[in-house]
Amino acid sequence: MQAVSVHGDVVVVRSEMWQTTCTVVHRGDTRSGGGTGPGTGETFIVDSPVFQDELDALPAILAQAGWSLSGLLCTHGDWDHVLARIVFPDASLGVAETTAARLRAEPGDVQRSLREFDDENYVERPRPLSLGKVQALPVPGTVEIGDAALELLAADGHTHDGMAIWVPWARVLLCGDYLLPVEIPWLQEHGSRSAYLATLRRLAAYVEQADWVVPGHGVPLDPARAQAIMREDIAYLEALPAKDAPLPLTRRSPRQRRLHADNVEKVLRGQG
């Protein structure tokens, strides 16, 4: 696991598995003389790393920074993004209304997927994952944090649910499973090419003003790299369902070609 600070209030943790990212966002509260030092303000953890030792490190990261956890946020309902609840079982979990609807419609699916992964990879957990009560957040919308607010943006297409998060004072965009430097656009079971393209175009204005873009998998991106990936991803998606759609040079591994074949099949089947 790697942890890097992209801003004084934003720490990105990157898992060894799939380079899944988890971002800690803090904001002090200067109202009523509250100040911005350790122990003040609010802190959210967005998404999660995968392995248990990585999850266990999250409380230590908070303690080292002197930040107290206010709640958890998830960009979408894939199982590898909701695991922080294992180490923070009493924390509130905020998700987009679309993700809340997905979790209600697929009861136990996240837990089954996690058990299958753990069984396949001999991973032991201290306790089963329980999502508990999930707070559905209106998207687009905002979530207050300290004396500021996070902006929530609709982000569907990879799946049929989700949100991206703009951290305005830090100029950081947390975009979930979009703009991935390690993976081509992937249309999952209920994904949509047109929705994916709409999400990329929706995020474009935020990428242009960002200092950092944090994808759901891969290293944090400077805006020039993020814009390059966006151009590549739009060109790729617009070319589907062509079997020879242009895969980006850095994303042409055998796995990426399998994902491409899966995308072609889905678009031909009507997920366009």
Domains belonging to the chain, first-starting first, are 2-236 (3.60.15.10)
Residue 132 is predicted with a pLDDT of: 86
The residue count for the chain: 272
For residue 127, give every residue at least 6 positions away whose Cβ sits within 8 Å of its Cβ, in sequence order, or none.
86, 89
Spell out the long-range contacts of 196-202 with Cβ–Cβ below 8 A and sequence spacing 24 or more. 196/156, 196/157, 196/158, 196/237, 197/157, 197/234, 197/237, 197/238, 198/157, 199/154, 199/155, 199/156, 199/157, 199/158, 199/164, 200/157, 200/230, 200/233, 200/234, 200/237, 201/234, 202/153, 202/154, 202/155
| Interatomic CA distance for residues 85 and 93, integer angstroms | 8
Distance of alpha carbon 178 from the chain centroid: 8
The series of mean pLDDT values per 10 residues for the chain, 272 residues long, is 95 97 93 56 97 97 95 97 96 97 94 96 92 94 96 97 98 98 95 96 97 98 97 96 93 96 93 74
Q: Which of 169, 181, 145, 143 has the alpha carbon at shortest distance from 27?
A: 145
Question: The tokens of 78 are what?
Answer: 């894939």
pLDDT of residue 173: 98
Q: In degrees rounded to 5, what are phi and psi of residue 186? A: -125, 120
State the distance between the two ends of the chain, measured CA to CA, in whole angstroms: 36
The two tokens of residue 122 are: 């001999």
Can you give the pLDDT at residue 229? Answer: 97
* Residue 5: count of CB within 10 angstroms of its CB: 11
For 229, the token pair is: 């990936």
CB atoms within 10 A of CB 143: 20
- Whole-angstrom CA distances from 85 to 66, 79, 81, 96, 209 are 20, 11, 10, 17, 32
- pLDDT for the residue numbered 33: 54
* Closest listed residue to residue 227, CA positions, set 267, 157, 191, 175: 175
Residue 168 contacts residue 240 (beta carbons within 8 Å): no
pLDDT at 160: 95
Residue type, 224: A
Q: Report the C-alpha gap between 180 and 160 in whole angstroms.
A: 18
